[in-house]
Homo-oligomer: A and B are copies of this chain.
Amino acid sequence: MVVPEIRVQAEPFDLAAEVARISVGRQDIGAVVTFTGLCRSENGALAALELEHYPGMAEDELRRVADDAIRRWPLDGVIVIHRYGKLRPGDSIVLVVTASAHRQAAFESANYLMDYLKTRAPFWKKEHASDGSSGDWVAAKQADEQAADRW
């Protein structure tokens, strides 16, 4: 059984190092998919996002989502890293890496992880506007719930 690697951290992550961690020295992996989620400026309106999380539960919930993916697809490795704290436009927020012998398993499980992570992992985003006003908490999107429901 594959053990997912889960990290919740303030620091940036190194995409290449994470992919190497999952694939170097192995000869059975045919496909590695990565998803990187980044902070967008919303056409300059956004100065920063502040990501709050529930320490402990965030890791637990990411691990539960990853374990679900491992049960559903024949995976050789899963990494999920989610950042917290103040992030600027262009900064990375989340990384999902999946490895499998088969390309569809790698694609689908990465997509599944992102859908479920968005609706289940206890993280909340607050916007800080470029005009200096302290922004609002981002509202959960119904589209995200629907995206998770399709699996």
Q: Does A129 lie at the interface of the complex (its beta carbon under 8 Å from any beta carbon of B)?
A: no
Number of A interface residues in the complex (CB < 8 A): 36
Residues of B within 8 A of A114 (CB): 103, 107
Q: Does A29 lie at the interface of the complex (its beta carbon under 8 Å from any beta carbon of B)?
A: yes
The answer on a CB contact under 8 Å between A31 and B36 is yes
The answer on a CB contact under 8 Å between A26 and B107 is no
Q: Does A119 lie at the interface of the complex (its beta carbon under 8 Å from any beta carbon of B)?
A: no
Taking a contact as CB atoms closer than 8 A, the residue among B34, B37, B111 that contacts A30 in the complex is: B37
Q: Does A138 lie at the interface of the complex (its beta carbon under 8 Å from any beta carbon of B)?
A: no
The answer on a CB contact under 8 Å between A90 and B41 is no
Which of chain B's residues has its CB closest to A40's CB?
B30
Taking a contact as CB atoms closer than 8 A, the residue among B14, B16, B38, B103 that contacts A32 in the complex is: B38
Q: Does A78 lie at the interface of the complex (its beta carbon under 8 Å from any beta carbon of B)?
A: no
Please report the C-alpha to C-alpha distance between residue A39 and residue B101 in the assembled complex, in whole angstroms.
10
Could you say which of A26, A39, A40 has the most chain B C-beta atoms within 10 Å of its C-beta?
A40
